[in-house]
Amino acid sequence: MRGDVLDYYLSQGYYRMHQDLFTCRFLPVNDNLYTVHWLRLVLPEVEFGSEQRRLLRINERFTTTIRPFQLTAELEALYAQYRSSITFDAPETVEAFMLAGATHNVFNSEVLEVRDGDQLIAAGIFDSGTRTMAGIMNFYHPSYRKHSLGKYLMLLKIKHALAKQNTHYYPGYLVHNYPKFDYKLFPCVAATEVFDCTSGLWLPFSWDTVAAQSAQIIADLPNEYFDEFE
């Protein structure tokens, strides 16, 4: 996929799933239906605060490298350890998440690896467009949970995007009244925008804006759409 094409679709609220692009407005969880809100960071406006700088500082003893994404046994082993420690649903393997049986990756993907000595302790996969970056997948060794490596990988990706003079970083979506995804606001709330799927515009992030968007999305649906959730 050409970089400018990825840039465009990200700007329209689309995102990568396996080897395709998709978008959605809802996340069903058990018997509830929640609204989805896509996020991006305006990179020239990003400023790390004390919490972000502290996380970068306490993890600076680890070594980091960036390489083109290639599926390896080492990545799969780390992901298996990560998956065994989490309490939410996740794909069984990195291959299932990224490729889903495909033999060729159509995206320009790279992996940011974090090591403690020779041990791989965290990995963050991202896709690059011409002027944008999309964070796709983060996972880490459960023994290093206190180091907040998922958030740390987000900061490292953003620093890399800034070094490339990218304009935007796309972390995916959060969900109204479902805080599992709120960590995506960690890098810099002030530089974060939320996509308005009704107007096609990106708006400065606030919880009031998300609440108003959620109410509008639900109001636009016919009542029978919610029958199966009652």
Q: What is the mean pLDDT of residues 19-42?
A: 95
The confidence score (pLDDT) of residue 118 equals 97
| Token representation of residue 206 | 């606030």
Say how far residue 195 (Cα) sits from the centre of its chain: 15
> Reduced to 3 states, what is the DSSP secondary structure of residue 111?
strand
> Among 82-91, 112-121, 218-227, which is the least confidently predicted range?
218-227
Say how far residue 7 (Cα) sits from the centre of its chain: 15
Report the b/e string of 193-226 with b at 16+ CB within 10 A. bbbbbeeeebeebeeeebeebbeebeeeeeeeee
Say how far residue 205 (Cα) sits from the centre of its chain: 16
List all residues 6 or more positions away from 37 whose beta carbon is below 8 Å from its beta carbon: 173, 174, 175, 176, 194, 195, 210, 213, 214
pLDDT over 90 (residue 89): no
Domains and CATH numbers, the chain: 3-229 (3.40.630.30)
- Strand 109-116 vs strand 119-128: parallel, antiparallel, or unpaired? antiparallel
If you search the block for the tokens 């935007």, which residue do you land on? 168
pLDDT over 80 (residue 223): no
Helices (H), 93-203: 94-98, 149-163
User: What's phi and psi for 187, nearest 5 deg?
Assistant: -60, -50
* In contact, 229 and 84? CB cutoff 8 Å: no
> Among 5-19, 40-54, 145-159, 209-223, which is the least confidently predicted range?
209-223
* In contact, 203 and 40? CB cutoff 8 Å: no
Percent of the chain topping pLDDT 70: 97
pTM of the model: 0.94
pLDDT over 90 (residue 86): no
The confidence score (pLDDT) of residue 158 equals 98
If you search the block for the tokens 């700007």, which residue do you land on? 11
How far is the C-alpha of 120 from the C-alpha of 137, rounded, in Å?
15
The confidence score (pLDDT) of residue 31 equals 86
- Strand 168-175 vs strand 132-140: parallel, antiparallel, or unpaired? parallel
Q: What is the mean pLDDT of residues 184-198?
A: 97
Per-residue confidence at 57, pLDDT binned at 50, 70, 90?
Answer: very high
* In contact, 13 and 21? CB cutoff 8 Å: no
